[in-house]
Amino acid sequence: MQVEFQTHPSRYRHWALDVDGDVATLTMQVDEDGGLLDGYELKLNSYDLGVDIELHDAVQRLRFEHPEVRAVILTGGIDRVFCAGANIRMLASSPHPWKVNFCKFTNETRNGIEDATANSGQAWIAAINGTCAGGGYELALACDHLILVDDNSSTVALPEVPLLAVLPGTGGLTRLTDKRGVRRDLADVFSTLQEGVRGQRAVDWRLVDEVAPASQLLERARDVAEHRAAASDRPSDASGIELTPLARTIEADTITYPNLRIEIDRALGVANMTVMAPDADPPTDLDAIHAAGSAWWPLALCRELDDAILHLRTNELEVGTWVFRAEGDPARVLAADESVEAHGKDWFAREVGLFWQRTLKRLDVTSRSLFAFVEPGSCFVGTLAELLLAADRTYMLEGIFEDLEGDQDPATIQLTVRNDGAYRMPNGLTRLETRFLHDADALGAAREAIGRPLDAADALALGLVTFAFDDIDWEDETRLALEERAALSPDALVGMEANLRFPGPETLETKVFGRLTAWQNWIFQRPNAAGEEGALRRYGSGQRPDFDPRRV
């Protein structure tokens, strides 16, 4: 089936959003019969990809459509149930790629919640009103302040190891130690307790921040939310920017958006992705930018690229290489970049920049080979140059295509200040800093080139592209590169790319995604978890799993 990542609050089946002044409440009340696929019921506020797609949409709309919201309370809408985590029947019956993509998207959505708290002045508070297990507790962990109901029965738990023979796949273990500061030995005990931990012990172990009686839980959450809201710089009187439906058409092997075109070569397993510069001079005045809203080119293209990444990642598993090109007037891209930079203190411009950072991170952790081709007519400047820096390889044409009719100017690329701090990778560094991690001279030279158009020779000398070929060799060299990629093992490429993309310091994000790629990717396929006698298959059957005791 084709998964659609676009939705709207009017179509939510699992979430209710209520905005009251500067505090919003997002309530999880999952429709048991609303699973994205057949064969399971979403009992006890358990979730599948469809539930998470709605959550992702709500997080985005809170940031863009509700600038007045400075704090968000996340709670459960079922009596004595916050969230029971990912639906086990769904996990047990899903093919392996589905499970991995589901976990990755779930991680990214949780990261978006944390990003809102850290960078948008929109703090998230979890009011844990009952059962909070597995992915449900991981959802709560994404919030900045956790309040657990104190009713002598409700617990927080990560029971994946003892019950399912897998791991808390949306960052649970990492957030325990790196975010919550839970001691390693206590985290070990907690992660092997099926029943979890409740009450004051949960506070003492730093699993939650406080407890409150059921009668006071939401009142206490509101108090915390209003306190956090008072420190926010989000405007109380601004008009939100409506996230209008994306205009996308899919015809055979072509996917078209207003600012992005994708042509799929199924024989090679390649998605040729062309991003397009604005077709007119973009507005630079702040009032005009706000008036443009979701049609403002930096936001419009970012939304389209984000949707395309999710669509291809989930629905086109055999398209293993993505080739980025860019077309249009570089001056218009620069003008848009300069507007985002100049109005960086405005809430809307800030949100657009942060959205680009999240979308580029989504690209970084995507298990696809990323190439970029720089040809005459390209506009890889500023923000779009981040696509070059994110690529596993970049090829640039020297000169022009001699056989093409019409005027051509040799391709150039150009860095701007947006490339030197605005867009951080999961490792906390810019893509320039990551590229030249142990070469301060090369990094300095690249920084000195900011603002200057660079031809192929300059870009190659500065280390900003991998190869530069003339017109005679271009077609053969790029074709051979794509054919070579298609001939290699996709499994080996996923591991190689994931290892090479994040040199330097390890962060919570790189740990979460690295462990998902390695541990969960492996453990989910082991017979102890996924075999006929494994824990996922026998969960809820009354039969104990039969484990192979050998450590591997």
The string of pLDDT tens digits covering residues 204-222 is 999 999 999 999 999 999 9
Q: What is the pLDDT of residues 416-473, one digit of tens each?
A: 999 999 999 999 999 999 999 999 999 999 999 999 999 999 999 999 999 999 999 9
Secondary element (H or E) of residue 215:
none
Q: What is the mean pLDDT of residues 299-314?
A: 98
pTM check: above 0.85: yes
Contacts of 308 (CB under 8 A, 6+ apart): 255, 257, 260, 262, 273
Q: What is the dihedral of CA 406, 411, 415, 418, to 10 degrees?
A: 50
Two tokens, residue 510: 């790189």
Q: What is the mean pLDDT of residues 226-253?
A: 97
Provide the pLDDT for residue 552.
Answer: 79
Helices 49-64 and 96-119 pack at an angle, to 10 degrees, of: 20
Helices (H) and strands (E) in the chain, counts: 22, 20
Q: Rounded distance, CA 21 to CA 66, Å?
A: 10
Sheet hosting strand 71-76, strand order edge to edge: 15-20, 23-28, 71-76, 123-128, 145-149, 210-212
Lowest mean pLDDT among 44-53, 360-369, 509-518: 509-518
Check pLDDT > 80 for residue 177.
Answer: yes
Beta bridge partners of 86: 47
* Strand, helix or coil for residue 422: coil
Q: What is the pLDDT of residues 32-64, one digit of tens each?
A: 999 999 999 999 999 999 999 999 999 999 999
Percent of the chain with pLDDT over 90: 89
pLDDT classification of 495: cutoffs 50, 70, 90: confident
Q: Rounded distance, CA 295 to CA 63, Å?
A: 17
Q: Residue 392, Cβ neighbours under 10 Å: how many?
A: 18
Region for residue 468 given its phi and psi (left: phi exceeds 0; alpha: psi -120 to 50; beta: otherwise): beta
Provide the pLDDT for residue 181.
Answer: 97
Check pLDDT > 80 for residue 501.
Answer: yes
Secondary element (H or E) of residue 27:
strand 23-28
